[in-house]
Structure 1
Amino acid sequence: MKAGRLIAVLALMASGLSPMTARAETLTNDMVVALVQAGLGDDAVIGKIRASAGNYALTTDDLIALKKRGVPGPVIAAMIESGSQGAVSAKAAYSADSPDPLTPHPSGLYLLSDARMVRIDPTTSNQSKTGGLLGYAFTGGLASLSIKAVIPNVTARVRTGRARPTFYFYFDEATRSLSQAGTPSPWLSGPASAITSPNEFTLIRFDVKKDRRETRTGSMNLAGAKSGVMDKDRIAFDYEQVTPGVFKVTPTADLPAGEYGFIYSISAGAGPGMWSHGTGSARIFDFAVHP
């Protein structure tokens, strides 16, 4: 062992600290100020900051206070950089499939499947179709014309064998730091940018056709027009807040085998102009139930 290393170890032993304890030191604002006031120089203080854990207060007022106490700009920048690295480490604690609802998850809608969460990505209905057109025409508008949102494929990618599945909604309020880091949010699309509760969604069942799934999202006759999911097509569900921005959602009754989805509330419209209110571009979080 070199003489310098031996002296350092002996000094640590004399102070009652081990080398591991010394390395575990966590710097604070006051400790950085003390290092600067001791005249160590910017390079030495920055090196210490980069080699040590830090628990810094870095609000705007804290930064101004550091400057007033004589901490140079490069040292303050090193403290900010160290704090940013700590935030990145904290984000690593996010989980995309942890079954614990209190574990931070990226924003989105999840199905609790066995011992993990499965994220349901939104499917966009990029087309609409009409039903009952002949009846509407032959009765001069007395019979209703239905408008349907269509999504491709006959089954959803996410499936469950439970007749009464459990879902978790993670809104941006619960994952704000991750969202600000650039992680895409499924809620940020047009009017959906303000979604904060499952109450803004409707649970529906799809009619399965040859190569697609469709659901009624509007109707029109001589009496007027309606845009949105019809009341009799809605499937009831309960929800409870687990923590700010996180909600647990369960259907109030068992779901028969079939294709389902949570659809964001469609704005009401009137007459043919209802096409402009998003009926043909609904965002649907689809899943399948196959007990």
Structure 2
Amino acid sequence: MKFWTVLIPCALAMSAPLCAETLTNADVLTLLDAGLGDEAVIAKIETDQGSYATDTATLLELRTKGVSSAVIAAMVKKTSVAPAMSDSAADPLAPHFPGVYLYDDWSAEPRMWKIDPTSSTQTKTGGIFGYALTGGIASASVKAVIPGEEARFVSPKSNPVFYVYLGNANGEGSGTFSTGFGASVQSPNEFSLVELEQKKGRREARIGSMNIAGAKAGVMDKDQIPFTYEQVAQGVYKLTPETALEKGQYGFIFAVGGGAGPGLAGSAGTAGARVFAFGVGE
């Protein structure tokens, strides 16, 4: 090999002052032995490429050779690679994108299914005739309309398990995730689990009522299906319905905001329901 062939790769990369180097444990020891202080060595570790051995035995050896804890920490940090975010990993403690997930443990290979929220920007009223006929004694209901008759994901089990990941779901971030409409989930306690009524081309959920006694906005207490939740890691919650769910369509409803409702319902209406819908039963 001629000498010129060795120089060509560096000569072509004129934008860099030298060919890129990859620091190793030996390089770090050499720099420290040459009298460079910890601050300078750490700066080089942070800015240059590195390939360091950071197993326990090697770290102890570096410490006995006088390498400071700050330098060792910089080497370990440079070696560490943040695990990739996932929208399907079966391990609940693996980093997941923020959102609501259905845990699939019935397939041959377990995984998570990320449930995208469905917007309900339309409401309809029911029981108007009875309301008018009785002078408001009978209640009129306000229902959120969810497009489509069936959810994308269906659990064959009557006791499905869900996970909610807040922030970036790996112990960092804000501890919330946006649902749209300028609202963010901060706790599973903000969800209401309800059964959705199937209609032609749509599903409906009651989110308000009105009678002579006044109007109510939000999911009715008697419509809510109780569920429990527990925090399994920072920003990670496990949700489980308290009772077995019958075959049908369901959803976790969030951010039912009062607004101008249709007709007489007034403030019992909503313009901002987000529904994390799912089905139960084959």
Give the whole-Å Cα distance in 2 for the aligned partners of 1:48 and 1:202.
Answer: 47
8 Å CA contact 2:215–2:267 kept in 1: the answer is: no
Deviation at 1:178? Answer: 7.2
Runs of 4+ in 1 over 3 A off after TM superposition: 30-38, 45-49, 173-180, 267-271
Residue 206 of structure 1 aligns to a residue in which SS?
strand
CA 213–34 in structure 1, closer or farther in 2 if over 3 Å, else same:
farther
Shift of 1:191: 5.5
Out of 232, 257, 264, the residue aligned to residue 247 of structure 2 is 257
Give 1:211 shift. Answer: 0.8
State which of 159, 166, 189 in structure 1 corresponds to 2:161: 166
| Contact 1:226–1:269 under 8 Å retained in 2 | no
CA distance in 2, matches of 1:174, 1:148: 33
User: 2:141 is matched by which residue type in structure 1?
Assistant: S
Q: Percent identity at matched positions?
A: 44
Following superposition, the deviation at residue 148 of structure 1 comes to: 0.1
Give the partner amino acid of 2:121: N
Q: Do 2:100 and 2:165's aligned partners in 1 also have CA atoms closer than 8 Å?
A: yes
Tell me the alpha carbon deviations over residues 85-119 of structure 1, each in whole angstroms, 9 at most, x when there is no partner.
Answer: 878x4142x22211111111111100011200110
More helix by share: 1
Aligned residue identity for 1:128: T
Verify: 1:234 aligned to 2:224, yes or no.
Answer: yes
Partner Cα separation in structure 2 for residue 99 and residue 34 of structure 1: 48
- Structure 2 partner of 1:105: 96
The 1:188/1:152 distance shift into structure 2, 3 A limit, reads: closer
Q: Give the 5 Å matches for 1:27-176.
A: 37=36, 49-53=47-51, 89-92=81-84, 94-114=85-105, 115-172=110-167, 174-175=169-170
For residue 225 of structure 1, report the CA deviation from its aligned partner.
Answer: 0.4
Structure 2 CA distance, aligned partners of 1:245 and 1:47?
A: 32
Q: Distance in 2 between matches of 1:24 and 1:219?
A: 69
| Residues 209 and 268 in structure 2, CA contact (< 8 A), matched pair in contact too | no
Aligned residues: 230
Change (3 A) 1:36 1:125: farther
d(CA) in 1 for partners of 2:32, 2:226: 60
| Residue matched to 1:70 | none
Task: Quote how far apart the aligned CAs of 1:32 are.
Answer: 7.1
How far apart in 2 are the matches of 1:173 and 1:117? Answer: 16
Greater strand share, structure number: 2
Structure 1 residue corresponding to 2:180, chosen from 173, 189, 193? 189
C-alpha displacement of 1:158: 1.1
- Tell whether the 8 Å contact from 2:151 to 2:249 is kept in structure 1 after alignment: yes
Could you report, residue by residue, the CA deviation over 1:2-23 in whole angstroms, capped at 9, with x for unpaired residues? 9xxxxxxxxxxxxxxxxxxx96
In structure 2, what residue type is equivalent to 1:218?
G
Q: Give structure 2 stretches of 5+ with no counterpart.
A: 3-21, 54-73
Instruction: Give the 3-state SS of the residue equivalent to 1:90 in structure 2.
Output: coil
Scaled by the length of structure 2, what TM-score is found? 0.69
CA RMSD of aligned residues (A): 3.7
Structure 1 position 238, deviation (Å): 1.0
